[in-house]
């Protein structure tokens, strides 16, 4: 069913984002860093990026965030695996008291010549994981990242109590070649992300079956009754989420059921943990491609084979986002539904800014 989208100028959206972060105690630069990149030619003008600004931190976290500050340096921690010029493999670890995440990793990625893993702990959630890997792709890298979620909202397979996060796992291929946009795989390890639950609640739409449980541990399709989420693919999604938590534990992250609950057990750590990995495509090439193809041509041939044989209508991960980026660019602004605008207006009221009036903006039907 077609929806009406209102065209919001980028500057208006960014002003609200920065004002909300300042209202919650962050420095002005933090609000600017949390905005997804909107550079010319970089496809970030699509709903995932902007909805993470409007919905994050979502209401369930706001009280816990009121005392949160990012007035601290991001500290690089030396290790015996520091930059190895002989291997072209710079590595690093970071720590800082409790800021949100969008800052350091993209600054280091361009220095990597082959492979660069960067773990970080003692930090809050890094918001939209896809934005990091898309930025790496724009710079020519294959990238992977994961982050332990801000809250334990997912029950283990055949469990009843949420002890896991939605634990996003984004990965990406380089842009333009071979398909003209980054192939981005960015998903939560739950059937549905809690941010999507909030969106469906705003829009009065039901959840998919077997995606969430109510407070009694019973399946529900009512987003207003959903208190915890189920892992996708049953034991498979559970396994992926568990791997994420174990990697976080190895880095230095603490108990998922205490994450973001700053008032409980102060001797424990309450922040998220995340990991970044970038690899230059040339670092994995053996050069032995059939029929004289180069690396990009070989990837393109493999994708063409996967999407051939009657599969031509199938989509690549990231294709929908790339299409939305083009729509936003063509419209000259960011596209939001009326329900989303009302969610932004809650933030505007918090920041003491004027409401976004839909009647003041052009609209398109998609």
CATH of the domain at 294: 3.30.1370.60
pLDDT for position 123: 57
Tell whether 201 is covered by a domain. Answer: no
Is residue 21's pLDDT more than 60?
Answer: yes
Identify whether the C-beta of residue 134 lies closer than 8 Å to the C-beta of residue 43: yes
Tell whether 211 is covered by a domain. Answer: no
Tell whether 243 is covered by a domain. Answer: yes
pLDDT for position 100: 43
Tell whether 284 is covered by a domain. Answer: yes
| Interatomic CA distance for residues 356 and 358, integer angstroms | 6
Mean pLDDT, residues 101-122? 48
Is residue 41's pLDDT more than 60?
Answer: no
pLDDT for position 1: 61
Task: Please give the residue range of the domain that contains residue 269.
Answer: 4-190+231-365
Quick one: pLDDT band at residue 38, thresholds 50, 70, 90?
very low
Pairing of strands 142-147, 184-187: unpaired
Is residue 171's pLDDT more than 70?
Answer: yes
pLDDT for position 281: 86
Identify whether the C-beta of residue 66 lies closer than 8 Å to the C-beta of residue 92: no
Share of the chain above pLDDT 70, in %: 71
Chain-centroid distance of CA 132 in Å reads 8
pLDDT for position 105: 44
| Interatomic CA distance for residues 75 and 69, integer angstroms | 16
For the chain, the average pLDDT equals: 76
Provide the token pair at 36.
């997804």
Tell whether 224 is covered by a domain. Answer: no
Is residue 187's pLDDT more than 70?
Answer: yes
As a dihedral over the C-alpha atoms of residue 11, residue 36, residue 105, residue 284, rounded to 10 degrees, the angle is -130
Q: Classify residue 255 as exposed, middle or buried by CB count within 10 Å of its CB (0-12, 13-18, 19+).
A: middle
Tell whether 222 is covered by a domain. Answer: no
What is the pTM assigned to this prediction? 0.73
Give the closest residue to 164 by CA, choosing from 289, 256, 78, 284.
Answer: 256
Quick one: pLDDT band at residue 328, thresholds 50, 70, 90?
confident
Tell whether 168 is covered by a domain. Answer: yes
pLDDT for position 122: 53
pLDDT for position 186: 83
Is residue 277's pLDDT more than 80?
Answer: yes
Quick one: pLDDT band at residue 77, thresholds 50, 70, 90?
low
pLDDT for position 63: 34
- Domains in the chain, number: 1
Share of the chain above pLDDT 90, in %: 28
pLDDT for position 98: 45
| Interatomic CA distance for residues 182 and 43, integer angstroms | 9
Tell whether 202 is covered by a domain. Answer: no
């Amino acid at each position: 069913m077609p929806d009406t989208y209102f065209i919001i100028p980028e500057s208006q959206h960014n002003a609200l984002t920065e004002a909300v972060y300042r209202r919650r105690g962050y420095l002005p630069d933090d609000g600017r860093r949390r905005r997804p990149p909107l550079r010319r030619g970089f496809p970030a003008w699509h709903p995932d990026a902007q909805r993470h600004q409007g919905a994050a931190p979502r209401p369930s976290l706001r009280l816990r965030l009121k005392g949160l500050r990012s007035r601290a340096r991001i500290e690089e921690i030396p290790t015996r695996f520091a930059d190895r010029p002989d291997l072209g493999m710079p590595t690093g670890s970071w720590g800082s008291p409790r800021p949100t995440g969008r800052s350091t990793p993209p600054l280091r990625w361009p220095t990597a010549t082959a492979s660069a893993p960067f773990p970080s702990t003692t930090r809050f959630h890094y918001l939209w994981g896809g934005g990091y890997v898309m930025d790496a792709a724009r710079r020519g890298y294959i990238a992977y990242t994961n982050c332990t979620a801000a809250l334990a909202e997912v029950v283990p397979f055949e469990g009843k109590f949420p002890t896991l996060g939605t634990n996003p796992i984004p990965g990406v291929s380089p842009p333009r070649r071979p398909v003209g946009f980054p192939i981005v795989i960015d998903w939560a390890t739950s059937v549905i992300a809690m941010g999507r639950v909030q969106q469906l609640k705003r829009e009065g739409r039901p959840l998919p079956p077997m995606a969430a449980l109510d407070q009694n541990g019973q399946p529900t399709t009512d987003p207003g009754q959903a208190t915890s989420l189920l892992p996708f693919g049953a034991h498979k999604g559970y396994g992926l989420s568990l791997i994420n938590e174990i990697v976080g534990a190895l880095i230095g992250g603490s108990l998922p059921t205490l994450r973001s609950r700053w008032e409980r057990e102060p001797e424990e750590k309450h922040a998220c943990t995340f990991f970044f990995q970038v690899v230059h495509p040339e670092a994995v090439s053996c050069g032995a491609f059939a029929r004289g193809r180069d690396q990009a041509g070989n990837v393109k041939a493999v994708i063409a084979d996967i999407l051939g044989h009657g599969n031509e209508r199938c989509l690549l991960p990231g294709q929908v986002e790339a299409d939305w980026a083009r729509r936003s660019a063509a419209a000259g602004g960011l596209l939001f539904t009326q329900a989303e605008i009302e969610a932004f207006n809650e933030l505007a009221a918090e920041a003491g800014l004027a409401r976004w009036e839909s009647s003041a903006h052009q609209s398109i039907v998609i």
